[in-house]
Amino acid sequence: MNLIFLGPPGAGKGTQSEGICRDYGTIQLSTGDILRENRKTGTELGQKAESYMIDGELVPDEIIIDMIKQEMRKPELAAGYLLDGFPRTVPQAKAFDALLSQLGQKLDCVLVLNVPNQELVARLTSRRTCRSCGKTYHLMFKPPLAEGICDLDGGELYQRKDDVEETVINRLSVYENQTKPLIDYYQKQGLAKVIDGVGKLDEVYARLKAVLD
């Protein structure tokens, strides 16, 4: 299955991707994770992206489209993929459609996770992220077993610089203006499925599973 996961920052895309990839054999491709990895290792791509990411702005389309073209070459994606955080603008979605037809692939579904802004702010400002594997936690809703330590690999949990309130508010308006039009874009292709992202983690997962099944 080839899937796109759409939704505002903090909607739970990364969190719910785990279950989807486990149950449906898809590979998660998170553009945010790839960019953060590039920043960590100091690549040219990481350096180009850094200032945009710190301010909660989008990295320019050309950079992202080049990056996704590289990523889509990976042979393991033949099993099916789940794109998390891409596309984020209409030009990115159009470039991706062109790439899909070049590769002879098609999308099966665009999952749109809906959560109101007030809850997104509460989720993001208390989000903690593993420095080594990128897995996310929440101080109240999804705490790690041991404080400050990732359950999976023992990595240090930190607060992303763009998860402070001021930047979160900017990211939500960037989503509203630049990414939300994609819902309509994929609705016109008959691919978008809107899902309520409010509720316990397993309740939201059950809604996603009902759509995918």
From 69, 142, 160, 207, the catalytic residue: 160
**In terms of CB distance, is 137 or 186 closer to ligand ADP?**
137
**In terms of CB distance, is 46 or 80 closer to ligand ADP?**
46
Residues 111 and 57 sit within 8 Å (Cβ to Cβ): no
* Residues at the interface with ligand ADP (CB under 6 A): 7, 9-15, 31-32, 35, 52-53, 56-59, 64, 85-86, 88, 92, 123, 127, 136-138, 141-142, 162, 171, 199, 201, 204
> Does residue 31 come out as left (phi exceeding 0), alpha (psi in the -120 to 50 range) or beta?
alpha
Q: Report the relative pairing of strands 2-6 and 81-84 from DSSP bridges.
A: parallel
Q: How many residues does the chain have?
A: 213
Give me the least distance between CB of 52 and ligand ADP, in Å please. 5
**In terms of CB distance, is 51 or 101 closer to ligand ADP?**
51
Q: What is the DSSP letter of 150?
A: -
Residue whose C-alpha is closest to residue 135's, from 155, 117, 112, 164: 155
Mapped onto helix, strand or coil, the DSSP state of residue 18 is helix
Catalytic residue status for 161: no
Residues 201 and 123 sit within 8 Å (Cβ to Cβ): no
Give me the least distance between CB of 104 and ligand ADP, in Å please. 23
Q: What are phi and psi of 196, to 5 degrees?
A: -70, 120
From 88, 123, 135, 193, the catalytic residue: 88
**In terms of CB distance, is 202 or 213 closer to ligand ADP?**
202
Burial status of residue 169 (CB atoms within 10 A of its CB: 0-12, 13-18, 19 or more): middle
Give me the least distance between CB of 15 and ligand ADP, in Å please. 3
Catalytic residue status for 127: yes
Catalytic residue status for 128: no
Give me the least distance between CB of 187 and ligand ADP, in Å please. 20
Tokens found for residue 2? 């080839």
Give me the least distance between CB of 1 and ligand ADP, in Å please. 19
Residues 79 and 26 sit within 8 Å (Cβ to Cβ): yes
**In terms of CB distance, is 104 or 202 closer to ligand ADP?**
202
List the catalytic residues.
13, 88, 127, 160, 171
